[in-house]
Amino acid sequence: MIEHWNEFLESHPFDVHLKRTSATEYVLEFEQLEELPLELPVLFGEWLYNLRSALDYTIWAAATYAAGRFPPPNQGRLQYPICDTEDSWRRTVSKLSVLPPHHLDMLKRMQPFASDPDANYLGWINRLARIDRHRHFTAWTARVAIAEPIAQIPSGVKPKWEWGERLFRAGSCYLARMTFPDKISAEGVLVNPRVGIDPEVTEWGQSPFWSKISFDERIRKMMLFVSAEIDTYDYDCTGRDKARAMLTDEFVSQSDQRRARVFKTPRVPGRSEVSWTSADPSRSGSSWADFVGVGFPADGPGVAR
């Protein structure tokens, strides 16, 4: 996504206009001149799919240690629950009965309904993934991420500055407005816009919480969050040192004390459980040519080895 966005910026696809909308008022408008790369929503959808899947894999793996079986029972019903309401949680949690009670408590505390739904990481991962999987590609636009405009005002009269919007809508963005007390003080104004423009997912960019965070930082935060969830359940079930780095000493101590009581190394089906069937009795004996590979495979010459 970064590579495609940077390549897009090389063509200078945005323009800026200082519009004098009245005798005493100016508006700083940005215009998008080119369509955004189609690769962005495609790649973002792949990223979302893998992020959501990683959470589901974590619950499946935790269930194998809780049950001591590979695969775990009722594996078709297992997924990482993400619930916007407590009613939804009650309906979903019954499918996770293989997990120990402390895992269910951990999962419940992470739910969108148990915190600010707009700021909740899981809520947005699920919301965006649902849009991408079941409706359409996420809608992409642009956002003014950094804005430090400086005005040159010949009259020396300080105007009233007001911020407008940062999210591009239908290819334009009204970033700021300057209002002067009279026509004469508003003459000859110039502006250096001094902005940085980031890509934006329209649905995500309308969030009061996430819109304050740059797009690349959001991506990093989401990945860090999912990594921490994976490590939490990994260490709790296995005690692997490599999963310990992001965990608190208190959680590590609790995990170490209960692991042997709660979890079992999953039993993987061994060779003794292979189901054997009789060979085809109709096949006749083979020749030396068959042995050295003549005519195998059937659609090309054989190679003697």
Closest CA relative to residue 56, chosen from 29, 36, 76, 38: 76
Beta strand segments in 148-217, E:
150-152, 160-163, 172-179, 190-192, 195-201
Domain residue spans in the chain? Answer: 1-273
Q: Dump pLDDT digits (tens) for 209-230.
A: 999 999 999 999 999 999 999 9
- Could you tell me the pTM of the whole model? 0.78
Question: What pLDDT does residue 89 have?
Answer: 95
Question: What pLDDT does residue 304 have?
Answer: 47
Which ranges of the chain have pLDDT less than 50?
302, 304-305
Question: What pLDDT does residue 278 have?
Answer: 85
Question: What pLDDT does residue 167 have?
Answer: 93
Residues 99/65, Cβ–Cβ less than 8 Å: no
Q: Dump pLDDT digits (tens) for 85-114.
A: 999 999 999 899 999 999 999 999 999 999
Question: What pLDDT does residue 108 have?
Answer: 96
Question: What pLDDT does residue 133 have?
Answer: 65
